């Protein structure tokens, strides 16, 4: 009896140690992103989590902070740099403030199609840009995407650059986008994403621009009347982890995060492909008035930003821009 009690106590102690050991060995990865769980960011973040958890036998677990719960994209990136946030999925629109070379991907009318963009970003140019992130306190594991950006507004349909005259259009806090909309004659208003829906509701801005993936998942049809399919710029995204966090990982765990990021990109691109073909019908059903720019109409927009291209050549080098446009 006495020995049974001792054995029982020892067993309980061993189980408690094991439970404590498992809890202590499990690392939580805080992942922050700007959009809802059912967006392309949410889908990719969950895929990333599934692969990492499976590959590491659950030694890592993800905690999601969707819908800007940790602040705007700028704050989340700063969190990665100092190591208070481990991972994010974020647009390049914000990243060029941290790694200026990224801005070349934000140049309007540079990418011809999703295939062209994916080809460039998965190829040497894209990989060279990813490698720049280490110096900025982050590790860039893969290129995701949002799709091509289009203009929404509450003032009028847009068919020509003149229709944008003086329009208070929210842009990302991104110098490349800003100079393009200035050249087009709009009144671009850089603003962090968490403020945008409120500003549209209150009428302090007339419109904004984002891909269908965002317009649908963020329900912009509730606050915007007109959608112009301008496709003026491709919008890449990136899957990033904090460098302080990365430096503490074993090679095996780094491989798990890398594999997860690649599979997340596949899921994200499939989401974008789907919304690019179904999104317009959804938005029309929700009451938006939609017009698509013809190739001739787009040409007028391209011509209007010719002066901005001179700045882009100076900033990023004509060679690099040509390398991108010549990629087949
Ligand atoms: O417009 C933006 O700021 C970005 O496209 C968004 C919606 C935050 C997604 O990265």
DSSP labels for 179-248? HHHHHTT-EEEE--GGGHHHHHHHTSSSEEEEEHHHHHHTTGGGT--EEEEEEEEEEEEEEEEEHHHHHT
Q: What is the pLDDT of residues 267-277, one digit of tens each?
A: 999 999 999 99
Q: Which residues contact 120 (CB under 8 A, 6 or more apart)?
A: 111, 126, 324, 327
* pLDDT at res. 13: 38
Spatial contact of 229 and 289, defined as CB atoms under 8 Å apart: no
Q: What is the DSSP letter of 135?
A: G
pTM: 0.92
C-beta separation of 229 from 208 below 8 A:
no
Q: How confident is the model at residue 1 (pLDDT cuts 50, 70, 90)?
A: very low
Angle between helix 251-285 and helix 114-122 axes, rounded to 10 deg: 170
CATH of domain 2-326: 3.40.190.170
Among the residues of the chain, which ranges form H helices? Answer: 2-25, 40-55, 73-82, 92-95, 114-122, 124-131, 175-183, 196-202, 212-217, 243-247, 251-285, 295-304, 306-316, 318-326
Domain residue limits, the chain: 2-326
For 185-236, the pLDDT digits (tens) are: 999 999 999 999 999 999 999 999 999 999 999 999 999 999 999 999 999 9
State in Å: Cα 34 to ligand 1 middle.
Answer: 7
| pLDDT band with cut points at 50, 70 and 90 for residue 317 | very high
User: Torsions phi, psi of 131, nearest 5?
Assistant: -65, -20
Nearest ligand 1 atom, CA 193: 3
Ligand 1 centroid to residue 9 C-alpha, Å: 56
Within 10 angstroms of residue 286's Cβ, the number of other Cβ atoms is: 13
pLDDT at 41 over 90: yes
Q: Which atom of ligand 1 lies nearest, measured to the CA of 68?
A: 8
Ligand 1 pocket list (CB less than 6 A): 34-35, 73, 91, 93, 146, 172, 193, 210, 214, 235
pLDDT at 15: 41
Is the model's pLDDT at 9 over the cut of 50?
no
List, for residues 134-177, the tens digit of each pLDDT value.
999 999 999 999 999 999 999 999 999 999 999 999 999 999 99
Backbone phi and psi for residue 230, each to the nearest 5 degrees, phi listed first: -95, -30
**pLDDT given at position 275:** 98
Q: Which of 67, 62, 40 is nearest to 211 (CA)?
A: 40
Residues in the chain: 328
Tell me: the pLDDT tens digits for 108-125? 999 999 999 999 999 999
pLDDT at position 25, please? 78
């Amino acid at each position: 009896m006495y020995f049974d009690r001792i054995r029982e106590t020892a067993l309980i102690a061993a189980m408690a140690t094991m439970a404590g050991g498992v809890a202590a060995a499990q690392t939580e990865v805080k992942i922050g992103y700007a959009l809802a769980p059912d967006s392309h960011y949410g889908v990719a973040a969950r895929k990333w989590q599934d692969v990492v958890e499976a590959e590491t036998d659950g030694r890592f677990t993800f905690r999601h902070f969707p819908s800007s719960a940790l602040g705007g994209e700028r704050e989340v990136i700063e969190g990665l740099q100092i190591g208070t946030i481990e991972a994010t999925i974020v647009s390049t629109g914000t990243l060029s403030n941290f790694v200026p070379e990224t801005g070349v991907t934000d140049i309007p009318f540079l990418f011809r199609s999703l295939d062209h963009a994916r080809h460039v970003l998965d190829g040497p140019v894209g990989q060279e840009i990813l490698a720049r992130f280490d110096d900025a306190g982050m590790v860039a594991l893969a290129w995701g995407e949002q799709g091509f950006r289009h203009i929404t507004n509450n003032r009028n349909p847009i068919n020509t650059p003149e229709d944008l005259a003086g329009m208070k259009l929210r842009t990302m806090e991104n110098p490349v986008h800003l100079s393009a909309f200035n050249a087009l004659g709009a009144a671009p208003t850089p603003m962090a994403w968490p403020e945008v829906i409120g500003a549209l509701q209150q009428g302090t801005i007339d419109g904004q621009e984002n891909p269908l993936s965002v317009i649908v998942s963020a329900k912009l049809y509730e606050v915007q009347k007109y959608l112009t399919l301008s496709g003026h710029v491709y919008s890449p995204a990136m899957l990033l982890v904090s460098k302080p966090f990365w430096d503490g990982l074993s090679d095996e765990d780094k491989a798990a995060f890398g594999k997860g990021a690649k599979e997340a990109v596949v899921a994200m691109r499939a989401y974008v492909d789907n919304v690019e073909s179904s999104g317009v019908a959804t938005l029309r059903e929700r009451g938006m008035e939609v017009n698509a720019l013809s190739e001739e109409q787009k040409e007028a927009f391209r011509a209007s930003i010719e002066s901005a291209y001179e700045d882009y050549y100076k900033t990023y080098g004509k060679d690099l821009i040509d390398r991108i446009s010549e990629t087949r």
